[in-house]
Amino acid sequence: MVTDSQRYAYVTNAMSGDISSYRVAPDGTLTVLDPTAGAVGFIAADQAFSQNSQYLYARSFADGTLVSFEVRPDGSLVPLQVLGGIPPGAVGLAAR
């Protein structure tokens, strides 16, 4: 996923359970910022941004949790909260 500013991109890594962050150059070139920018949990799946890309949410398929992060101006992620209770078999994620 790419931030609204088009400056940063984030990818969930299913098997390692984390999120990698990248800087996006004006020509679209990606540079790794942090290969383990945030921990989600085993089988990290869907992710979504809030409005203005201030917050990033990611779901762990394996344990039914949702992890929220603050997206800092430098592209780093700060973990905020872990919520449980996502039903087994749930697919997709949307945020506002």
Query: Each residue of 51-68: pLDDT tens digit?
Result: 899 999 998 888 888 999
How far apart, in Å, are the Cα atoms of 95 and each of 25, 31, 78? 26, 26, 18
Q: What is the pTM of this model?
A: 0.89
**pLDDT tens digits for range 6-54:** 999 999 998 888 999 999 999 999 999 999 999 998 788 889 999 899 9
In sign, the C-alpha dihedral spanning 24, 27, 28, 30 is: negative
The answer to whether residue 77 scores a pLDDT higher than 90 is yes
Q: Which two tokens stand for residue 94?
A: 């949307």
The answer as to whether 94 is a domain residue is: no
**Domain range enclosing 64:** 8-83
The answer as to whether 58 is a domain residue is: yes
The answer as to whether 93 is a domain residue is: no
As to burial, measured by CB atoms within 10 angstroms (0-12 exposed, 13-18 middle, 19+ buried), residue 61 is: buried
- Domain total for the chain? 1
The answer as to whether 33 is a domain residue is: yes
Higher per-residue pLDDT: 90 or 16: 16
The answer as to whether 89 is a domain residue is: no
Higher per-residue pLDDT: 74 or 96: 74
pLDDT, mean of residues 69-90: 91
